[in-house]
Amino acid sequence: MELIQTQDYAEMSRVAAEILIKEIKTNPQAVLGLATGSTPAGTYEALIRDHEQHGTSYKQVHTVNLDEYIGLDQSDPNSYKSFMKAHLFNAIDLPETHAFLPNGEATDIQEECRRYDEKIRQLGGVDLQVLGIGQNGHIGFNEPGSSFSMTTHVVELTHNTRKANARFFKQLKDVPTHAITMGIKNILESRRVLLLASGSSKAEAMARLLNAEQPDEAFPASALYLHPHVTIIADKEALALVEDQKRRAF
Ligand SMILES: N[C@@H]1[C@@H](O)[C@H](O)[C@@H](COP(=O)(O)O)O[C@@H]1O
């Protein structure tokens, strides 16, 4: 596990975008695993700037997103599909047919989970998976207690996660109660993981992650100790509760 500490959110976003751009340049047909949320939004902005200024092309890239709410219309501004369009897809040359998200409107949700796993397999797996982290250590929507052997599945969101994500909705009761998420097993199967964290609201989760050293299903992000190529990019505030000694150990 490699740890890159940045001054702030802007630097975190820049460093993450550089890694993604390098990946696309070395492998123009890369399969990128993408995340939603405030954390990767700045990275996506940096990718757009680079696309406009330097012409990095996504024509042969494929993307698979980690998760999607169940029960929201795909055109709802709060669906993760809308988020990805607004924050990245509409501004780069990624063909629409190359961008995959779980379909939270599918009538047979179990079948949709199987179909999504099969899609990832057909694409040859994820080359680089971008992750944010929830305040309780969730990755994707894998909440504490999720088995590390799960592939794409349906989850009931915890009250805390719904509360944390309520800022995007009019009121808490509008936040969906369920979502489809790639499982930890999917995440561990990706060839490289980039975990991003910014701000004091993530400080406890980051301290717990870096102190953990051992995978523990009670704290989903700790599964990353089972992965051979993880890069964490976190800013000062997110690392504020991690002891200096610990920071140097990575
Ligand atoms: N499903 C997403 C996660 O993928 C994301 O990492 C997390 C943190 O979001 P934010 O980056 O906005 O703090 O929120 C949601 O629950």
Give the pocket of ligand 1 (CB within 6 Å).
Answer: 35-39, 66-67, 132-134, 140-141, 161, 165
Half-sphere exposure of 235 (CA within 13 A, CB side): 20
* Ligand 1 pocket mutation pick from 69, 129, 133, 196 by most atoms within 8 angstroms of CB: 133
64: Cβ contacts below 8 Å, ≥ 6 apart: 31, 32, 33, 34, 100, 101, 116, 119, 120, 123, 126, 182
The range of the structural domain enclosing residue 230 comes to 2-249
> 140: CA distance to ligand 1 center in Å?
7
Smallest CA-to-CA distance from 61 within 36, 25, 35, 90 is with: 25
Cβ atoms of 164 and 158 closer than 8 Å: no
Specify the number of domains making up the chain: 1
Mean pLDDT score of the chain:
96
Smallest CA-to-CA distance from 88 within 44, 51, 57 is with: 44
pLDDT at 163: 93
Strand order in the sheet with 192-197: 2-6, 230-235, 192-197, 128-131, 31-34, 62-65, 99-100
The ligand 1 atom at the shortest distance from the C-alpha of residue 131 is 6
111: Cβ contacts below 8 Å, ≥ 6 apart: none
Q: What single string gives the DSSP state of each residue in the chain?
A: -EEEEESSHHHHHHHHHHHHHHHHHH-TT-EEEE--SHHHHHHHHHHHHHHHHH----TT-EEEESEEESSS-TTSTTSHHHHHHHHTGGGS---GGGEE---TT-SSHHHHHHHHHHHHHHTT--SEEEE---TTS-BTTB-TT--TT--SEEEEPPHHHHHHHGGGSSSGGGS-SEEEE--HHHHHHSSEEEEEE-SGGGHHHHHHHHHH-S--TTSGGGGGGG-S-EEEEEETTTTTTS-HHHHHH-
Give 95-148 pLDDT, tens digit per residue: 999 999 999 999 999 999 999 999 999 999 999 999 999 999 999 999 999 999
* Ligand 1 pocket mutation pick from 135, 138, 178 by most atoms within 8 angstroms of CB: 138
The ligand 1 atom at the shortest distance from the C-alpha of residue 157 is 16
Is 136 designated active site? yes
Following CA atoms 85, 167, 182, 195 in sequence, which dihedral angle do they give, to the nearest 10 degrees?
Answer: 90
- 10-residue averages of pLDDT along the chain (250 residues): 96 98 98 97 98 98 98 93 98 98 97 98 98 95 96 95 91 96 98 98 96 92 97 98 82
> Residue 4 corresponds to which tokens in the numbers above?
């890159």
pLDDT at 92: 98
pLDDT at 217: 97
Catalytic one of 23, 50, 67, 117: 67
* CATH code for position 181: 3.40.50.1360
> 134: CA distance to ligand 1 center in Å?
5
> 213: CA distance to ligand 1 center in Å?
22
Is 105 designated active site? no
Half-sphere exposure of 186 (CA within 13 A, CB side): 34
pLDDT at 36: 97
pLDDT at 71: 92
Cβ atoms of 155 and 178 closer than 8 Å: yes
Catalytic one of 138, 142, 189, 235: 138
> 200: CA distance to ligand 1 center in Å?
15
